[in-house]
Amino acid sequence: MKIKVYTTPTCPSCRNLKNFLHEQKIEFEEIDVSKDHKSAVQIVEKSGQMQVPILEFEDGEIILGFDKVKIINKLNIK
């Protein structure tokens, strides 16, 4: 499953999320919205939120923040 993770370099929740995904050996594309204005605008339009982290899945589902329970359920992590 293709996952995009929208982050900023100074966001502690973003670091925690990326560490969690790495620990679970889940590949993802990181998009730094502090450097990629176009992607920042697009994800705000899709999610209605200006917070990070935001996970966007290839099926269109979006998870706001580092919501570990939702992420575990979405990815069927045991």
Q: How far apart are CA 74 and CA 71, in angstroms?
A: 5
Q: How far apart are CA 67 and CA 64, in angstroms?
A: 7
Report the CATH fold assignment for 3-75. Glutaredoxin (3.40.30)
pLDDT digits (tens, 9 = 90+) for 1-57: 799 999 999 999 999 999 999 999 999 999 999 999 999 999 999 999 889 999 999
Apex 62 CA angle, 12 and 11, nearest 5: 10
DSSP 48: S
Q: How far apart are CA 61 and CA 46, in angstroms?
A: 10
Q: What pLDDT is recorded for position 41?
A: 94
Give the pTM: 0.93
Place of tokens 């502690």: 12
Q: How far apart are CA 43 and CA 47, in angstroms?
A: 6
